[in-house]
Structures are given as structure tokens and as C-alpha cells.
């Protein structure tokens, strides 16, 4: 936990100093998470907030003692907690990681299946829309043909009347 009143560049320098110390002494950084500024459960050095950082690393045992000494001497570091993870915990974390990967693969497969169903449904809709357009075009053609026929029928009686009128005259 780092003093939150420091500037962001100073906080980054404190974090970088810790990670370089670990790597310089034969350690390996596994994970680094910056949780940010959080309210403390109780005041530490008259401060109600702290900047939380989680650094998971693998290192020889003597590095931990040296690192904790550096933490105690560093003023910006308000509190620290070093936990040694045993083999059972490592196995549990590996199992948990495999389960998460399996869930991610299942979710990906489900998403692909859903996409395939959507594509098939879209193709069916396109086929139905194409099939519906053809009868509609035929109906328009039939209507226009039906409109043409009565017009011819109207013209035909008119010519007969004209012929009838002409003999009377």
C-alpha cells in the first residue's frame, strides 16, 4: 500500500523500484495489478486512503527478506504483506485457470453456434423474401392485363353504336 498523496509518476516510480528489485535479485514477476486509491478500514499515519498494488512474483527465499527490508525503509510504502504460496495453492490456481479457459471455449463455441443460427435464419428470410417478390410481380402483371381488357371492351361497343347511328343518318 502506497501513500496516495504522491503524484502518479512518483507512485509509478515506487512500483517500478519494487519490480526491478525483484527481477534484479533473480525473481520473476508473475502478475501486477494496480487497484488504485481505496479507503482504509482504519487510519494509517493519519491517512484515510491508500494506493493498493498487488505484485505476484516467484523468487528465492532470501529475496523476500531483502525486499521486506526495502519496504520498511521506503517512506512512500505505508504497509506491505508478503505471502508465501504453497504447492497446493499453485495446483488450485492452475485448476481454476483451466476451468476458466474451458468456460471461455464453451462461450466461444456457443457464440459461433448462435452466429451460424442467425446466418441460417437470415438466409431463410432472404429466400422467403425472394419467393414473395415473384408472386407480387405476377399479380401486378395480371392486374395491368385485366385493366387493358375492359378498356378494349369499352371501345368495342362504342364502335358498334357508331355503326348503328350511321345507317339512321
What is the pLDDT, as a whole number, of residue 150?
Answer: 53
Q: Domain residue spans in the chain?
A: 8-84, 87-145
CATH number given to 8-84: 3.30.70.60
* Statement: residue 121 has pLDDT above 80: yes
How does pLDDT run across 2-34, given as a tens digit for each residue? 998 999 999 999 999 999 999 999 999 988 999
For residues 124-130, give the mean pLDDT. Answer: 78
* Statement: residue 149 has pLDDT above 90: no
How does pLDDT run across 97-118, given as a tens digit for each residue? 889 888 888 888 888 888 888 8
**What whole-number distance in Å separates Cα of residue 169 and Cα of residue 135?**
52
Amino acid at each position: 500500500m502506497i501513500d496516495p498523496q504522491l503524484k502518479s509518476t512518483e507512485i509509478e516510480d515506487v512500483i517500478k523500484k519494487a519490480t526491478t528489485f525483484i527481477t534484479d535479485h533473480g525473481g520473476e514477476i508473475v502478475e501486477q495489478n494496480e487497484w488504485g486509491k481505496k479507503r482504509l478500514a482504519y487510519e494509517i499515519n493519519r491517512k484515510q486512503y491508500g494506493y493498493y498494488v498487488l505484485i505476484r512474483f516467484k523468487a528465492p527465499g532470501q529475496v523476500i527478506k531483502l525486499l521486506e527490508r526495502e519496504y520498511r525503509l521506503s517512506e512512500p510504502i505505508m504497509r506491505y504483506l508478503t505471502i508465501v504460496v504453497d504447492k497446493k495453492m499453485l495446483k488450485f490456481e492452475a485448476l481454476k485457470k483451466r476451468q476458466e479457459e474451458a468456460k471461455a471455449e464453451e462461450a466461444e463455441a456457443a457464440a459461433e453456434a448462435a452466429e451460424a443460427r442467425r446466418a441460417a435464419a437470415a438466409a431463410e428470410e432472404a429466400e422467403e423474401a425472394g419467393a414473395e417478390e415473384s408472386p407480387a410481380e405476377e399479380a401486378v402483371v395480371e392486374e395491368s392485363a385485366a385493366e387493358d381488357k375492359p378498356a378494349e371492351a369499352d371501345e368495342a361497343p362504342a364502335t358498334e353504336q357508331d355503326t348503328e347511328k350511321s345507317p339512321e343518318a
